[in-house]
Amino acid sequence: MFTRILNIVAILIFVQKFSIAVILVSRSNSALLWSSPPIPCLAFEGKTSFGMSVFNLGNAIMGSGILGLAYAMANTGILLFLFLLTAVALLSCYSIHLMLKTSGIRAYEELGYRAFGTPGKMAAGIAITLQNIGAMSSYLYIVKSELPLVIQAFLKADPNSDVWYLNGNYLVVMVSASVILPLALMKQLGYLGYTSGFSLSCMVFFLTAVTYKKFQIPCPFEEFSVNGTDAHLSLNVSDQINGYSNSLVHEENGSHCTPRMFTINSQTAYTIPILAFAFVCHPEVLPIYTELRNPTKKKMQKVSNVSIFVMYSMYFLAALFGYLTFYENVEPELLHTYSRIDPYDTLILCVRVAVLTAVTLTVPIVLFPVRRAIQHMIFPSKSFNWLRHISIALILLMFINMLVIFAPNILGIFGIIG
């Protein structure tokens, strides 16, 4: 499930990701870019510290994409993966550098207005709105599909039970109302620095667990034995458990337990979209820049560089230790591979909760640029108003929850948003 979501979102975003910077460069010498008068800017800026800005941008970068990186390394080899990861990270840094250097402004809608007038402002706002709604929908779809399975595994509940706490639709609404909505109602993006820091700590816990498991799990590993006693328990914790033979032990010659530096196969091409999705943060850059204390282009570039470097390091370590645990047997969603060994492993279940927590806490960060875009498009000259601020957040979350609940699958969501 995670892999399908990652690939769909990545394909939608990959081509678009660096286009903003390219447009800025191509239009920077045009008289039209600076001939239009500036539109009023919705501003409550200058209050977020450097550290909180790093946390917010790092949280925007970090997502469920980290779960697919070990699989990407298995299909590229360690050195080729490192080269590709480095290249994408550098491209992300450079594209942010172009935006900051060339635009001279701190809102995509203002950039669109100066470049193409009112149609440009509307196009920029609509693009940000649709892209981020798609991202938020994918995050909440992960919550809807994975949280019931985690609860089911913790409680060892009957998978056919119809109790409410195993219903993904109820759970996603509860998470949205109790966690996401209160955070989305914050007046400033900078206030989310604390939750962003906690979200990143959840991913550090994930990295620590992956590193620990590398030295605990032997290679080749023995798969979970499904006997008569266990048959009634939840085998849906990992969709991949079904179909594997009982007590299967992989080939004992250990040939597949040797790391490869370079690998080219039919799955190698999917590595680029996975890596591109892993560093997507561009819609959040300018809003974070707007609220940065004593904002300068140099300071915001430093925020971006630090955030990307920290995420780059975490990505590589998570991919490396995940790959060195399972080698070519690693699955597209790393945590499912651990479930093949023991679907009721308490540590891995806690890691899955941590990942779901991190994904959930990313949603408010992604929602802020959407609300900002809507305000620029519909209320460009209005000052801050709490009623409007709350109403936009409520409407957005209600719409996204309806998409997640009524769409038959993730393809249905992107069929509407795309």
Residue 39 lies in a domain: no
Lowest mean pLDDT among 23-37, 187-201, 324-338: 23-37
Q: Compute how many other C-beta atoms are within 10 angstroms of the C-beta atom of residue 164.
A: 10
Higher-confidence residue of 396 and 159: namely 396
Higher-confidence residue of 207 and 239: namely 207
Tell me what the mean pLDDT of segment 318-337 comes to.
87
Residue 36 lies in a domain: no
Does 88 score more than 60 pLDDT?
Answer: yes
- Residue 62 binned pLDDT confidence (cut-offs 50, 70, 90): confident
Residue 31 lies in a domain: no
CB-based contact 90:303 (threshold 8 Å)? no
Q: Compute how many other C-beta atoms are within 10 angstroms of the C-beta atom of residue 148.
A: 23
CB-based contact 358:204 (threshold 8 Å)? no
Tell me what the mean pLDDT of segment 370-384 comes to.
85
Task: Supply the pLDDT for residue 163.
Answer: 85
Does 102 score more than 90 pLDDT?
Answer: no
pLDDT digits (tens, 9 = 90+) for 234-261: 444 444 444 443 333 344 444 577 888 8
Residue 379's domain comprises 2-26+50-226+234-417
Residue 260 lies in a domain: yes
CATH number of the domain residue 403 falls in: 1.20.1740
Which DSSP letter does residue 117 get?
Answer: H
Higher-confidence residue of 120 and 32: namely 120
For residue 303, give Cα distances in angstroms to 50, 103, 307, 309: 7, 18, 6, 10
Does 322 score more than 70 pLDDT?
Answer: yes
Q: Which of 59-73, 99-113, 153-167, 384-398 has the highest mean pLDDT?
A: 384-398
Query: Which residues 6+ apart lie within 8 Å of 342 measured at CB?
Result: 224, 348
Is the alpha carbon torsion for 141, 69, 12, 281 positive or negative? positive
Tokens describing residue 24: 């800025």
Pick from 304, 300, 287, 279: nearest CA to 371:
287
Residue 41 lies in a domain: no
Grouping H, G, I as helix, E, B as strand and the rest as coil, residue 397 is: helix
Residue 40 lies in a domain: no
Tokens describing residue 387: 């009623």
Does 182 score more than 70 pLDDT?
Answer: yes
Q: Distance between CA 403 and CA 348 in Å, rounded?
A: 29
Task: Supply the pLDDT for residue 313.
Answer: 93
DSSP sequence for 59-111:
HHH-SGGGGGHHHHHHTT-HHHHHHHHHHHHHHHHHHHHHHHHHH-SS-HHHH
Lowest mean pLDDT among 124-128, 215-219, 224-228: 224-228
Does 221 score more than 80 pLDDT?
Answer: no
Task: Supply the pLDDT for residue 179.
Answer: 93
Task: Supply the pLDDT for residue 34.
Answer: 43
- Residue 184 binned pLDDT confidence (cut-offs 50, 70, 90): very high
Instruction: Report the number of distinct structural domains present in the chain.
Output: 1
Task: Supply the pLDDT for residue 398.
Answer: 94
Give the helix ranges, DSSP H, for 238-345: 271-278, 282-291, 297-326, 334-341
Higher-confidence residue of 173 and 236: namely 173
Residue 95 lies in a domain: yes
Q: What is the mean pLDDT of the chain?
A: 78
Higher-confidence residue of 151 and 41: namely 151
